Amino acid sequence: MSEPLPDPRDLLPHREPFLFVDRLVDLVPGQSVAGTWKLTGEESFFAGHFPGRPTLPGVLMLEALAQVGACGLLAEERFRGKLPLFGGAEKVRFRRQVVPGEELRLDVEILRLGSRAGKARGTASVDGETACGAEITFVIVEG
């Protein structure tokens, strides 16, 4: 029997209102990770983005991918207590709107991982339809 997956709050330093990962659904520490973010419509950014047509801001999809990726990194023993920071994003593409009531599936594969930096590829999707994809670089600092 496999162990239950950790709660993202036990791995990430992020807290409401800037925690965009509800739960992890798959995890291979230091290699790959998947999580979800259910958008209720109560999130404050929907009121202004856009009135009458609420849409998840693309940069928050990118941040959600980074947070899930950080879970995959911080679940590895040698990185516990560290803080992964955004180093950059490349090949970012937004393919569909995400609206209240939808659940975002966040899949991240860690492509390269050193002691102080790395690179990952992530895809955010809704019901199997890609909403956002990107390559993310990160640096790892003392927490």
| Catalytic machinery residues | 49
| Per-residue three-class SS string for the chain | CCCCCCCHHHHCCCCCCCCCCCEEEEEECCCEEEEEEECCCCCHHHHCCCCCCCCCCHHHHHHHHHHHHHHHHHCCHHHCCEEEEEEEEEEEEECCCCCCCCEEEEEEEEEEECCCEEEEEEEEEECCEEEEEEEEEEEEEEC
